[in-house]
C-alpha cells in the first residue's frame, strides 16, 4: 500500500450540480404522465378540428349520388306497396348528411311514415384504431357532437318526430334495451357507414334482427383504401358466411367525389323449410 498522498482534485474536473440527480429522477417519473397529457391534447385538437369541419357541413361523399342510391333502394322495397317499407337504420352518422339525403329520398317517394335511426358515438374513432393497422385512421377522426348533427338535421328539413339519434359506441347502444325503448321493428334500408372491421361487424349483427323479409344493406365505407383484414368488406363477408338464412344480390355502388364510395346489396331472408 503506497504512503503517497492522494492527488488533489483538479480545478477543471466536473463537479456535480446540486439537485440534478433529483431532477432527473423526477423527469423519469414525469415522462409517462407527460406523454399521456400530450396524447390527450393532440386527440382533443383533432376532435375539435373534425367537429368544426362537421359543423360547417363537410361532405365526405357525393350527396346526390347517395340520394340516387337511396331512391333505387326505396323503389325496390316499395314495389309491393308503401306499407311494406320499414325503418331506415344508420350505423355511423358523422355529421348527418346521409340522414338528410335519405329524408329527401323518402319525401320524393311519398314515404313520410318511415322512421330514421342514427347510431354514433359522436366521439369519432376510438383510441383502439391506433393499433388496428391503418395509417389513415386516428383516434377522434370523424368526431362531431349530437347537438351539431341535430341542428344540421333540423336545417335540412328532417322531422324530429321521425328521426332518432342514439349516442354511444355500438357495444353500449346496440342493445335489447335500445330496441325496446324505441320499439324498433322491421328495417328496409340499412346503412353501415363505418370503416373498421371492429365496428362494421357488430353493426351488421345488430341490424340482422330487423331484416324480417328483405332489405337493402348499404356498406358506406366499402371502397375505403385499407387492407381487407381490417375493413368493412371483411365484416360483410364474415357476416354473410355466418348467416345462411340471408340470400344476397348485388345492388351496385355509388360514387364519392373522387372514387367509388359505397356498395349495396339486396338481402332476402330465405323461407324456412
When pLDDT is averaged across residues 127-135 and rounded to a whole number, the result is: 80
pTM for the model: 0.81
**Residue range 166-211, pLDDT digits in tens:** 999 999 999 999 999 999 999 999 999 999 999 999 999 999 999 9
- Alpha-carbon gap, residue 192 to 173, rounded angstroms: 15
Other C-beta atoms within 10 Å of 96: how many? 28
Domains present along the chain, CATH in parentheses: 63-269 (3.40.50.150)
Exposure string over 202-233, b if 16+ CB within 10 A, otherwise e: bbbbbbbebbeebbbbbbbbbbbebeeebbbb
- CB of 232 within 8 A of CB of 200? yes
- CB of 91 within 8 A of CB of 181? no
Exposure string over 22-44, b if 16+ CB within 10 A, otherwise e: eeeeeeeeeeeeeeeeeeeeebe
**Residue range 142-167, pLDDT digits in tens:** 889 999 999 999 999 999 999 999 99
Helix (H, G, I), strand (E, B) or coil at 267: strand
Amino acid at each position: 500500500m503506497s504512503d503517497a498522498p492522494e492527488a488533489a482534485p483538479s480545478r477543471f474536473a466536473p463537479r456535480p450540480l446540486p439537485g440534478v440527480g433529483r431532477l432527473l429522477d423526477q423527469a423519469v417519473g414525469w415522462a409517462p404522465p407527460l406523454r399521456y397529457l400530450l396524447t390527450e391534447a393532440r386527440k382533443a385538437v383533432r376532435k375539435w378540428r373534425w367537429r368544426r369541419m362537421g359543423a360547417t357541413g363537410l361532405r365526405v361523399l357525393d350527396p346526390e349520388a347517395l340520394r340516387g342510391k337511396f331512391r333505387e333502394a326505396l323503389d325496390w322495397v316499395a314495389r309491393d306497396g308503401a306499407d311494406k317499407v320499414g325503418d331506415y337504420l344508420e350505423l355511423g352518422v358523422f355529421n348527418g348528411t346521409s340522414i338528410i339525403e335519405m329524408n329527401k329520398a323518402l319525401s320524393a317517394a311519398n314515404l313520410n311514415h318511415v322512421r330514421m335511426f342514427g347510431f354514433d358515438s359522436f366521439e369519432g374513432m376510438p383510441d383502439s384504431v391506433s393499433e388496428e393497422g391503418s395509417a389513415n385512421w386516428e383516434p377522434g377522426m370523424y368526431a362531431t357532437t349530437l347537438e351539431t348533427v341535430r341542428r344540421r338535421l333540423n336545417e335540412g328539413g328532417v322531422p324530429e318526430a321521425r328521426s332518432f339519434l342514439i349516442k354511444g359506441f355500438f357495444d353500449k347502444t346496440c342493445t335489447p334495451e335500445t330496441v325496446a325503448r324505441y320499439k324498433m321493428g322491421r328495417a328496409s334500408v340499412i346503412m353501415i357507414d363505418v370503416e373498421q372491421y371492429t365496428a362494421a361487424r357488430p353493426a351488421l349483427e345488430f341490424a340482422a334482427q330487423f331484416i324480417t323479409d328483405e332489405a337493402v344493406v348499404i356498406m358506406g365505407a366499402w371502397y375505403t383504401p385499407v387492407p381487407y383484414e381490417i375493413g368493412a368488406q371483411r365484416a360483410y363477408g364474415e357476416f354473410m358466411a355466418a348467416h345462411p338464412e340471408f340470400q344476397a344480390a348485388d345492388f351496385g355502388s355509388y360514387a364519392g367525389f373522387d372514387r367509388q364510395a359505397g356498395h349495396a346489396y339486396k338481402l332476402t331472408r330465405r323461407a324456412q323449410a
